[in-house]
Amino acid sequence: MGLLDGKVAVVTGAGGGIGRCHALALAERGAKAVVNDLGGARDGTGSGTVMADSVVDEIRRAGGEAVANYESVATMEGAAAIVQSAVDAFGRVDIIVNNAGILRDKTLLKMEESMWDAVIAVHLKGTFAVTQASARRMVEQGDGGRIINTSSMSGLFGNFGQSNYGAAKAGIAGFTRVAALELLRHRITVNAIVPVAKTRMTEDIAATPQEFVPELVSPMVVFLASDLAQDVTGRVFGVIGPRLCEYKYITTPGVAKSDGISSPEEIAKRFDDITRDE
Ligand code: NAI
């Protein structure tokens, strides 16, 4: 018995990079897979069928079941069609991996509206659109479900030249926590991963080592997609090449205003006390 036998998984942006590895890993553990990919360039321009088709071929050659889908995650119609292709091919949807992504880097002062809109549309709206369409279907099915989103260190900590991408990825982390709360009673878990891997997206970033192959990211996704993680929800996990971790917010103990802090000057004086970790 495979860990994911009988499950139907959709991976967006699965025609290459990390998404391809997720689709192969989920199928290897028994899930039937929808390999979605728009098939365009790193900046989201263009489209094509070759990328998704080639991953479907790989899965089939390895003995798995898969179908391709070429819609964009960035529209409500595209998202609905992605979920529908799982239902049409395999009768249901159990697992969604929101992975599709593009980059349009520019410093804030030079950022163009079109660059902002395109990145927010694919990452943030795409994650919302596919999550909503699939969660509605999962609620109807009544058997729970798994949604795994993709955030980034750029969103959690900031990265130069990525105000659009960082905002979208921070938004995805926040969205994950809210969706997890709302979908808990339907036994649908919602988590996010923060990967670091060498792909076409990071090929020109010297700080990402060659040995951080995208295959290293997928075991965490398979875990979160499985019954092994039925009680894990609303959390953000790092898969930094070979290292696994969880990202958590910390709140400092802080200082009560009743301690006499009533003016900006008092805040300045006690700033270290307000911000000190325990
Ligand atoms: P990639 O460029 O190889 O993969 C992204 C895939 O999404 C591509 O195959 C692309 O065709 C597809 N795609 C783009 N727009 C789409 C759309 N509108 N609809 C459907 N598919 C679309 O890059 P990589 O590195 O595999 O990225 C995967 C995810 O991981 C992205 O969300 C990225 O932001 C995230 N990520 C990657 C990191 C890394 O170190 N590689 C670091 C942090 C986050």
pLDDT in tens, 191-218: 999 999 999 999 988 889 999 999 999 9
CATH class, range 8-247: alpha beta
For residue 141, give both structure tokens.
């099915």
> Angle at Cα 138 formed by Cα 137 and Cα 143, nearest 5°?
145
pLDDT at residue 278, rounded to an integer: 79
Q: Name residues contacting ligand 1 (CB within 6 A).
A: 12-13, 15-19, 36-40, 42, 44, 51, 72-74, 99-102, 122, 126, 150, 152, 195-197, 199-202, 208
Question: How far, in Å, is the centroid of ligand 1 from the Cα of 277?
Answer: 35
pLDDT at residue 206, rounded to an integer: 85
pLDDT 10s digits, 177-191: 999 999 999 999 999
Report helix, strand and coil shares of the chain as percent, to nearest 5: 45, 15, 40
Residue 249: what residue type?
Y
- Contact (Cβ atoms closer than 8 angstroms) between residue 105 and residue 53: no
pLDDT at residue 205, rounded to an integer: 87
pLDDT at residue 15, rounded to an integer: 98
In this prediction, the residues of the chain whose per-residue pLDDT falls under 70 are 1
Question: How far, in Å, is the centroid of ligand 1 from the Cα of 182?
Answer: 27
Domains of the chain, by residue range, sit at 8-247, 250-278
